[in-house]
């Protein structure tokens, strides 16, 4: 296998990557209580160019909800071939739950370039979310969702149908936009028209998630 990887990387310009499942627990940073139904998104990003500094899209992206004990398991994935390399800090885990600051948990690896195993440092650990209460809670929720929405809206994104892969995340953003708009809360969240129909009808894919 090692010789195959070297051959594809050196001769064909290809890279092979794989990742183990990410298993963790999400807790309140103040109380230590488990946080259920938190949205967990894990993203493996790619780079290209001589210095591996040009964003080249997404290698893999997964979503899952925490259970009543705050536990989650992001599925791993087998060997994938790409003509780009892993981005630094990949995979990155983001965790959203109303009433908490958006959790951002990058892998502690600043190396850009080729790595076969793209496993998360956070697997097997407890991930803490900071609660936000009072007048700042709504502002924090808007800002957290706007940050999470960058998955779909960053300029370098070349995957117009990521919402098909993480429909729960897309629906969380769309449901919040509808709620914010009804209550005249300013926001820059993308609307349904931002989700391309190149792959399929967004309404058909997201209907079971939309409120």
The Cα–Cα gap between 165 and 171 comes to 12
pLDDT along the chain (211 residues), means of 10: 48 70 98 98 80 70 97 91 76 96 88 68 96 94 96 67 90 96 94 78 84 81
Q: How many residues does the chain have?
A: 211
Exposed (0-12), middle (13-18) or buried (19+): which is 152, by Cβ within 10 Å? buried
Is the entire prediction scored with pTM above 0.85?
A: yes
C-beta of residue 58 within 8 angstroms of C-beta of residue 73 = no
State the pLDDT at residue 193: 82
Q: DSSP string of the chain? A: -HHHHHHHHHTS--EEEEE--EEEEEEETTT--B-TT-EEEEEEEEEETTTT-EEEEEEEEEEEE--TTSEEEE--EEEEEESSEEPTT-SEEEEE-TTBPPEEEE-S----B--SB---TTTTEEEEE-B--TTHHHHHHHHHHHHHTHHHH-TT---TTHHHHSHHHHHHHHHHHHHHHHTT-------GGGS--SSS-HHHHHTTT--
Strand partners, 62: 42
């Amino acid at each position: 296998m090692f010789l195959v990887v070297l051959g594809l990387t050196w001769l064909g310009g290809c890279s092979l990557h794989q990742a183990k499942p990410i298993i963790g627990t999400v807790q309140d940073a103040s109380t230590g209580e488990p946080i259920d139904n938190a949205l967990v998104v894990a993203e493996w990003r790619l780079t290209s160019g001589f210095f591996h500094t040009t964003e080249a899209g997404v290698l893999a992206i997964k979503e899952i909800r925490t259970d009543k004990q705050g536990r989650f398991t992001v599925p791993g994935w087998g060997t994938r071939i790409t003509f780009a390399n892993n981005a630094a800090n990949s995979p990155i885990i983001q965790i959203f739950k109303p009433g908490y600051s958006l959790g951002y948990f990058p892998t502690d690896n600043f190396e850009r370039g080729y790595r076969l195993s793209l496993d998360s440092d956070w697997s097997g650990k407890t991930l803490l979310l900071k609660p936000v209460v009072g007048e700042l809670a709504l502002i924090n929720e808007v800002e957290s969702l706007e940050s999470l929405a960058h998955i779909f809206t960053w300029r370098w994104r070349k995957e117009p149908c990521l919402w098909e892969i993480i429909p729960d995340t897309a629906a969380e953003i769309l449901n919040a936009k509808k709620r914010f708009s009804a209550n005249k809360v300013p926001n820059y969240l993308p609307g349904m028209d931002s989700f391309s129909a190149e792959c399929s009808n967004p309404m058909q894919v997201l209907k079971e998630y939309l409120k």
